[in-house]
């Protein structure tokens, strides 16, 4: 079975940010080239800009991950490729599903589902950014105002309160992305890991916090075992708050 070196990497490379709340996934990409087929984008939404901007934010300087995108307006998603699918689904607006080899934790397939309905462009962008950060193998964080803490806010009548500000990387998100990149090559390319550590220090330390109200994070992962494969679904479910006036979902 696969052994988790996350804590070793964090101790070796991130003494200055041990108190941060970021959480990185144990999953691993088999290749540094990540290809996505984008489908079912509504005609009134500029999905190209949404996705390219989100990838630009999350694929930090020095990253060795290469994203390749193909856009198909109405084509049903491809069962053999990674997908970003814009379509309606119940009880949420974004989810990322990884199909993995259960023995090695190697990712075989990624499906990102975006429900754009009821969201304005800024809120939709924030949802897409959050899901792309999952593609970069960040899990949910409890760091206030970070991309990985982000949730949509509902009013007491369950109406979406759209955002008036686009999310950007916080220190917490930035450290998390770099640490996952470092962790994945630590024992195969130590010199490049050192370069990424320098880039992390240079690029993350001065990042401001996002000015969006704090929302407590609730997340879970569902595993469905079948022989050598797991499907892990990052399913952002409807969350009821103790305050009857507000609910959160993504």
Q: Which residues pair with 112 in a beta bridge?
A: 84, 96
Number of domains in the chain: 1
Backbone phi, psi, residue 16, to 5°:
-80, -10
| CATH code (residue 98) | 3.40.390
**Residue 169 counted as domain residue:** yes
The answer to whether 22 and 175 have CB atoms below 8 angstroms apart is: yes
Give me the domain span that covers residue 244. Answer: 6-249
**Residue 217 counted as domain residue:** yes
What are the pLDDT tens digits along the chain (250 aa)? 444 455 555 555 544 455 568 999 999 999 999 999 999 999 899 998 999 999 999 999 999 999 999 887 666 667 788 999 999 988 889 999 999 998 999 999 999 999 999 999 999 999 999 999 999 999 999 888 899 999 998 888 888 999 989 999 999 999 999 999 999 999 899 999 999 999 999 999 888 665 433 332 222 222 222 333 344 444 443 332 323 333 334 5
């Amino acid at each position: 079975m696969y052994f988790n070196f996350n804590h070793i990497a964090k101790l070796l490379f991130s003494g200055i940010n041990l108190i941060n709340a970021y959480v990185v996934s144990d999953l691993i990409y088999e290749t540094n080239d990540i290809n996505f087929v984008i489908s079912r984008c509504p005609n009134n939404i500029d999905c190209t800009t949404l996705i390219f901007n989100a990838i630009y934010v999350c694929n930090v300087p020095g990253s060795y991950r290469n994203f390749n995108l193909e856009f198909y307006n109405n084509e049903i998603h491809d069962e053999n490729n990674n997908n970003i699918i814009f379509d309606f689904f119940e009880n949420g607006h974004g989810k990322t599903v990884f199909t993995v080899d259960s023995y090695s934790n190697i990712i075989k397939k990624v499906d990102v589902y975006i429900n754009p309905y009821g969201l304005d462009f800024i809120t939709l962008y924030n949802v897409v950014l959050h899901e792309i950060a999952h593609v970069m193998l960040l899990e949910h964080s409890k760091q206030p105002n970070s991309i990985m803490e982000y949730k949509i806010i509902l009013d007491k009548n369950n109406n979406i309160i759209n955002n008036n500000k686009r999310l950007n990387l916080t220190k917490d998100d930035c450290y998390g992305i770099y640490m996952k990149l470092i962790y994945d090559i630590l024992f195969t390319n130590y010199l490049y890991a050192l370069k990424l550590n320098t880039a992390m220090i240079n690029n993350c330390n001065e990042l401001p916090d996002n000015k969006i109200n704090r929302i407590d994070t609730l997340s879970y992962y569902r595993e469905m075992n079948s022989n050598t494969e797991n499907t892990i679904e990052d399913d952002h479910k409807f969350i009821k708050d103790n305050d009857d006036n507000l609910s959160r979902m993504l």
